[in-house]
């Protein structure tokens, strides 16, 4: 099959006007000018999307699909209070509820042009949903306890789940990892145990790190809302905590977590220059979630400094509970504008960089750029078509600017993973969207009761 459009954006190479992509099986075979491809392969079916961009599917470097049912549930609270409200709401959901909430997220991901997700969960719902929807997914099994005596049982349960979750889907599309939750919910022994297991079993790993001022104050000074409310709710006990006198980044470094190859740190809004040097020296990648960080008043990740130090960074949506949509266009646009507004011209970030952060850079940060993130012969055919023919988008002069400054998730007209069309203009190949939508209404009533 030849997919064609006004613009083809390989990302790793300059864009092609009136281009095409030859797909055979699950693989990209050739990229070039539309007419030359058709002439060279007259036997191939041609799908021409017209005034559109063909590009690699988005790689969502951090999300929680199972929180999709909590969209708009807690919209106007800063991070710590938002987190406490979510903890209370979570208790109302059954295992079946979590599964259907994650399916809602999977449907939205495909509708939004997201073909690869990196998801953190302790229920496994995201792994099951990704497999059912045909998504490419790296799913981390979350672990947390503040009590040292419980670390062994927590890790044993996690290892059992990891073995089970691997059976949910095709290992070419589904990878299972491990994720200690955060500095305010994990005893240091958790980091040591996770490091041992991840290194021994070659597991990818991720952690929410330095994401809010409350977390920073809790770790360094032992004084914040998280020092009381969250820990008592999360652990069911009033556990003692001695201030460490160091930042969250340097705290987890002391407990060996950065020894895990390819560790992904999520958020990193509360970091100083020394923290950035530590992340760079340990080859830690960063998931930048601009809308979530702004909406929950978490702060702003110093993206320019990360890039200057050679840290691998990609964009993440976090979840509809924190930013309402799985829209990578909004992440690109708002992320770019926030950085320009605060940082000015040093450095001056451009639209093409953010398209790359949402695709190839995110794939590199997750260690999957050999398969996805760009349109190149030999890579997996994870491809999306973005309609840019609307009145607010024409005339198109530079496709990257059009994508970042005028497009949204509703402009996605085609989503393919591994050569399989999974979404096309309000139709999902593998998902029963009517049932998922009906369940979403039921979940809303459950959560708001």
Boundary residue ending a domain (344, 366, 388): 366
Instruction: Output the furthest CA–CA distance in the chain (Å, rounded).
Output: 72
CA dist list (Å): 136 to 39, 169, 172, 319, 446? 33, 10, 8, 17, 30
For 124-162, the pLDDT digits (tens) are 999 999 999 999 999 999 999 989 999 999 999 999 999
Query: Which of helix, strand or coil describes residue 73?
Result: coil
pLDDT at 236: 52
* Paired residues of 141 in beta bridges: 121, 178
Residues 6+ apart with CB under 8 A from 345: none
Pair (10, 67) in one structural domain? no
Question: pLDDT tens-digit profile of 380-397?
Answer: 999 999 999 999 999 999
Per-residue model confidence as pLDDT tens digits over 253-271? 999 999 999 999 999 999 9
Asked whether the beta carbons of 56 and 49 are under 8 A apart, the reply is: no
The mean pLDDT value for 48-63 works out to 98
**Domain span including residue 96:** 58-366
- Predicted TM-score (pTM) of the model is 0.96
What tokens does 276 get? 């950035």
190-204 pLDDT, tens per residue?
Answer: 999 999 999 999 999
pLDDT of amino acid 232: 63
Distance of CA 359 to the CA centre of its chain: 11
Q: Quick one: 191 and 269 in the same domain?
A: yes
Calpha distance 203→200 (Å, rounded): 8
Are 410 and 311 members of one domain? no
Round to whole Å and give the CA distance between 289 and 316.
Answer: 5
Q: Considering only CA atoms, which of 382, 377, 378 is closest in space to residue 422? A: 382
Return mean pLDDT, the chain.
95
Euclidean distance between CA atoms 169 and 174, whole angstroms = 6
Using alpha carbons, select from 385, 374, 382 the residue that is nearest to residue 414: 385
And the tokens for 128?
A: 């099951």
Asked whether residue 443 is assigned to any structural domain, the reply reads no
Say which range, 58-62, 238-242, 288-292, has the weakest mean pLDDT.
Answer: 238-242
137 shares a domain with 113: yes
- Please check whether residue 23 is in contact with residue 58, taking contact to mean a CB–CB distance below 8 angstroms: no
Q: What is the pLDDT of residue 338?
A: 96
Residues 255 and 332 in one domain: yes
CATH of the domain at 296: 3.20.20.140
- Residue 177: which residues within 8 A CB-CB, separation 6 or more? 138, 139, 140, 141, 198, 203, 204, 205, 206
Are 181 and 102 within one domain? yes
Burial class of residue 163 in the structure, from the number of CB atoms within 10 Å of its CB (0-12 exposed, 13-18 middle, 19+ buried): exposed
Nearest to 60 by CA among 314, 295, 369: 314
pLDDT computed for residue 344 by the predictor: 84
Q: How confident is the model at residue 242 (pLDDT cuts 50, 70, 90)?
A: confident
Region 160-173: mean pLDDT is 97
| 15 located within any domain | yes
Residues 212 and 279 in one domain: yes
| Distance (Å, whole) CA 130 – CA 125 | 9
């Amino acid at each position: 099959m030849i997919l064609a459009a006004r613009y083809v954006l390989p990302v790793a190479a300059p864009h092609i006007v009136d281009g095409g992509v030859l797909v055979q099986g699950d693989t990209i075979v050739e990229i070039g000018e539309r007419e030359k491809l058709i002439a060279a392969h007259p036997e191939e079916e041609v799908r021409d999307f017209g005034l559109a961009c063909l590009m690699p599917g988005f790689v969502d470097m951090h999300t929680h699909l199972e929180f999709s049912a909590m969209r708009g549930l807690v919209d106007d609270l800063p991070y710590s209070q938002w987190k406490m409200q979510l903890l209370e709401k979570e208790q109302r959901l059954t295992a079946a509820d979590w599964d259907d909430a994650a399916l809602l997220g999977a449907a939205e991901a495909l509708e939004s042009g997201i073909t690869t997700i990196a998801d953190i969960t302790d229920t496994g719902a995201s792994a099951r949903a990704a497999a059912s929807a045909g998504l490419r997914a790296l799913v981390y099994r979350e672990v947390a306890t503040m009590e040292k005596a419980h670390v062994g049982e927590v890790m044993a349960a996690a290892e059992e789940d990891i073995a089970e979750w691997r059976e949910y889907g095709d290992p070419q599309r589904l990878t299972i990892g491990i994720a200690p939750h955060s500095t305010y919910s994990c005893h240091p022994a958790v980091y040591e145990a996770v490091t041992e297991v991840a290194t021994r079993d070659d597991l990818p790993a991720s952690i929410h790190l330095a994401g809010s001022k409350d977390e920073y104050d809790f770790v360094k000074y032992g004084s914040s809302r998280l020092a009381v409310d969250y820990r008592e709710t999360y652990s069911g006990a009033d556990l003692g905590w001695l201030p460490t006198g160091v930042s969250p980044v340097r705290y987890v470094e002391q407990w060996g977590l950065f020894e895990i190859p390819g560790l992904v740190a999520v958020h990193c809004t509360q970091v100083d220059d020394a923290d950035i040097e530590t992340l760079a020296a340990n080859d830690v990648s960063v998931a930048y979630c601009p809308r979530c960080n702004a909406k929950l008043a978490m702060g702003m990740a110093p993206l320019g400094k990360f890039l200057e130090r050679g840290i691998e960074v990609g964009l993440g949506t976090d979840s509809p509970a924190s930013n309402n949509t799985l829209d990578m266009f909004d992440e690109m646009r708002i992320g770019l504008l926030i950085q320009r507004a605060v940082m000015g011209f040093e450095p001056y970030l451009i639209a093409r960089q953010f398209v790359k952060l949402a695709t190839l850079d995110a794939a590199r940060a997750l260690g999957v750029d050999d398969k996805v993130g760009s349109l190149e012969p030999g890579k997996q055919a994870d491809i999306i078509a973005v309609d840019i023919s609307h009145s607010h988008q024409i005339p198109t002069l530079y496709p990257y600017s059009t994508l970042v400054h005028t497009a949204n998730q509703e402009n996605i007209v085609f989503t393919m993973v591994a050569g399989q069309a999974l979404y096309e203009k309000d139709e999902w190949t593998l998902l029963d969207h009517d049932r998922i939508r009906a369940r979403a209404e039921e979940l809303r009533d459950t959560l708001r009761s």
